Structures are given as structure tokens and as C-alpha cells.
Structure 1
Amino acid sequence: MSSKMHAVMNEPSRDSLLKRVVWSALTSRHAQFSQGGDLARRFDPAISPFAAAANNSPEALAALAELIQPGDDRAFILQADDIALPHELEAEITALGVLMVEVSPSAGPSRPTSIVQLDETDVPEMVELATLTKPGPFTARTPELGTFFGIRLDGRLAAMAGSRINLDGYTEVSGICTHPDFRGRGLASELSLHVTEVIRNRGDIPFLHAYADNHGAIALYRKLGFEIWREVNVAVVRRKAQIDPD
């Protein structure tokens, strides 16, 4: 898809899909991983902690609260719309992020032969790398959401990247991380270019998320052909602890 085609995408359609990107995914291509109904949904927590309400109506927010169990259960809310919570829920963490969309496709990676597709045998190393580098929520079942690729150096998984949130016409580039021992070699850029090329070749537009204050990452993604579409709100929410009347 040419950069011109990217630039002239129907903005109302883009808005309706990306403003609540998690909801859009859970009601389309990722419906098989969904728990909930017509008003609120969440991913199977073993796969991903993301959840979303269809809108900010009292009915939808009440349905969202029903999906989050008391105790240690947490859900991540990620949306361009303001985050509203019912009285049963509270935000432990809030942050501002950005959603970036590819607007000028870059050339593919310069060393495609060193990039390998990861599979279930690689999951322990993938989880270990994600735990060390913290590219975002990542469990042993997160790779079920998309395809992940890696670069191995010295017999170790040096870097990886893949796709996560998947909705009609758009696929998220995610899990981009490099082991500290192998940073400074451009591995994350190479893998990101490869993943975006795979996404583009199947007819989708690549997008990704970054924290708004991560200026280094945003600058890198701009070099790779992405631009900020909109700021997004992030919250980690839980049910409020019940107060024992005694």
C-alpha cells in the first residue's frame, strides 16, 4: 500500500476503529479470545490483560466491572476516549500514550536471513526476554494473538517483535524488545521493519503504541515511517477492596 493511500484513509472509519482499539479487536478478529458480551469485553486474562467497554454509558461500565474479579485481578484499559470507571473499579496506574500509524512504508530489513519466525518452542525465551525488558504486557500465551519473529545471536534470543491487537484493516506491531547485551545494533529496527512488511503484505495497516513521554521510541518509530495518530489514555484497573463492616 502506497504512502498516498495511507494518507487518504477514510478518517471517520479510522476514528471509529482506533478510538477504542481493544474493543474493535475483541468484536472482530480477536473475538475468539474474548470474554464478555455486547457492552464490555476482555481478553482471556491468560493471554492478555486488556479490556474495554463499548462506550461510557452506565450500562457498559457496569458490564466492564462484572468482568474484573475481586482480589488480584487487573485489567488494562487503552483507548483514545476518556476513561470512565464505575464506582466498583479504581485505577491503580494511569498514563498517557500515543497510537502511531504507518504513513510512509519503509523498505524491508537489510538482513532478512537472520530473522526467524518464533514458535511454541521459543515461548520460554520470549517470556524471559519480555520480563527482562518490559515491552508491555506479555504472557506465555500472548503469541497466540499474532506472529512473532526474532534474531538469535550467540545461540540466544537477542531481540523479538511481533503482532498483538488485530482488528479489521489494522494490525498492531508489539513486543518489540532487545536484550541489554545486544542493544545498539539496530535489531529492534530490523525486526520492526520485518513485522510491518508482513502486516502490509497481507493488506493491513500497521500501528503501534508508545508512552507519550518515551521520546526516544517515538523518534525511532517516526524514522520507520510511523506518525502519531492520537494520544491515548492508559489505566490499570482493579475492583475496589470491600471494607469489612466489623
Structure 2
Amino acid sequence: MKHVLDRPVWSALATRHQALAQGGELARRYSPSFALFAATAADDAESLQAFADLVGPGDSVIMAQADPIALPAGLSAISTAAAVQMVAEAPLQVVSDERVQRLTQDDVAEMVALASLTKPGPFTSGALSLGDFWGVKAGGQLVAMAGERMKQPGYSELSGVCSHPDVRGGGLGRLLSLFVANQIFARGEVPYLHAYATNAGAIKLYESIGFKLRITINVAVVQRPG
């Protein structure tokens, strides 16, 4: 039996993030202003055709799933990668720090700039529509953040964890990861996350605070030529 996180993008778009989705019962994608992810319900020909219909000329989307990624004619993977999916099944260390503050629409420009500099993964100016984000500022400037992205019944994804190079190594990634994960736990949900399999530093950090490997996820940036 498939787990709800085996196809995390589809599970989110078919349930808690349905209002942010484009598409139908066979294939869906986030509205591009919110996120770049897209998915099929299954790998049959009908679902793949519905997926193809969602990607216009010159457009690209990101797929992420445990199953090998199948593509319809007309679409090609311009890059592929392996990622790990990690879950925190037991409560984590409780942290409290007066520097941590909820980020708002007023912070979006700085959030995008920080993500562009540090490249924690796909990030758009619509990130706050997916879930809450929290950050730490120094001298009035955002220097670290973490938040929530995809949501499925009983689960929320920890995402966007990054720190400015000037403060890297100061423990802010650990602090904010624990803080956001505990926010998720407090709602009665289970936090999970994704990291590229090659990102040994991030994986080591997440393991150190209590996340455990669940599965490997296949990731592909898929494009229709313009």
C-alpha cells in the first residue's frame, strides 16, 4: 500500500493544497506563483497525458516521487537528482529564542533574496501561501529562515532552511529547524523534509535533531521545449 508521502506533491495537491492547484483528477501542478512542483496521480498513459497538458511551451516544472519518474511524449527531464525524505516521528528538543520571529508579506523580498543567495531548494515569492515561515534578523536584515511547504493529511514539510554566509555555522539552521518542526508537532502533525542525497551536511544536521530517513525520492526538472 502506498504511503501518503511516496508521492508528496500529488498528495498535497489532492488534499490540503487543493485550492492552490491547477489541473484535475489525473494530474495537478501548483500555480507557478506558489511553487514549481507538479505531479500525476499515477503513471498510466491517461495521467501522463493530463500532465503534459499542464506544461506549456518553454515551461518547466519539478517532479518529486518515490517511484521512477515517467514522462509523456513532448516533455523531457533537463536535470535529475536523488533526494532523501526524512521524518521526525517523536517530539524533538524544545527551543526558545527571542530572536525568532514570524515572517510576513513585508519580508518576502528579503526571503527571496536570501533563498537566491543560499539556494535551499525551489523557492518563490508565494512561499507564504504554502505555510508559515520564521526567521532571525541581524541589524534589521533577514539572515536565516525556515518554514513549511507541502502539506498532506497529518503531515507538514519543513522547508526553506537557510542561513546567510555571514552567520553560517552559528546554529541558526538548527534552531529554526527545531522551532518549525515543533510548531508542526504542536498542531498534531508530523514534520518531514527533503534534502538532496549529496547534501551530507544538511542530512547530518537533520539526523542530529531527530529526523530519520524514510525513503529516497526521485527529483526531475521537466520542461517542454519552447
TM-score (norm 2): 0.97
Counterparts of 1:114-153 in structure 2, within 5 Å, are 114-153=99-138
Percent identical: 49
**Structure 1 position 138, deviation (Å):** 1.0
- The alpha-carbon deviation at position 214 of structure 1 amounts to 1.1
CA contact (8 A) 1:112 1:194 kept: no
**1:176 alignment partner, SS class:** strand
Unmatched 5+ residue regions in structure 2? Answer: none
Q: Distance in 2 between matches of 1:112 and 1:197?
A: 13
Residue identity in the other structure for 2:187: R
Q: Which runs of 4+ in 1 moved over 6 A?
A: none
Matched, 1:89 2:75: yes
Q: After the TM superposition, which of the residue ranges 152-161 and 50-59 deviates more from structure 2?
A: 152-161
Q: CA deviation at 1:142?
A: 1.5
Equivalent positions of 1:198-217 (< 5 A) are 198-217=183-202
Selected match of 1:181 from 166, 181, 184: 166
Aligned with 2:55 (options 60, 68, 75)? 68
- Distance in 1 of aligned mates of 2:94 and 2:139: 24
Q: Does 1:43 align with 2:33?
A: no
Q: Distance in 1 between matches of 2:24 and 2:89?
A: 34
Task: For residue 114 of structure 1, give the secondary structure of its aligned residue in structure 2.
Answer: coil
**Residue 105 of structure 1 pairs with residue 91 of structure 2:** yes
User: Which residue identity does 1:185 align to in structure 2?
Assistant: G
- Taking only aligned residues, the RMSD between alpha carbons, in angstroms, comes to 1.0
- Contact 1:135/1:177 (8 A) holds in 2: yes
- Deviations for 1:156-209, whole angstroms, at most 9, x for unmatched residues? 111000000011000000000000011111001000000000000001100000
Residue 102 (structure 1) shift: 0.5
In the alignment, the residues of structure 2 paired with residue 136 and residue 95 of structure 1 have an alpha-carbon distance, to the nearest angstrom, of 12
Q: Distance in 2 between matches of 1:103 and 1:206?
A: 8
CA distance in 2, matches of 1:220, 1:105: 16
2:205 maps to 1:220: yes
Question: For residue 17 of structure 2, what is the aligned residue in structure 1?
Answer: 30
Considering only CA atoms, is the larger Rg found in Structure 1 or Structure 2?
A: 1
1:16 deviates by 2.6
The one of 168, 177, 181 equivalent to 2:153 is: 168
Post-superposition offset of 1:215:
1.1
Q: Distance in 1 between matches of 2:170 and 2:147?
A: 19
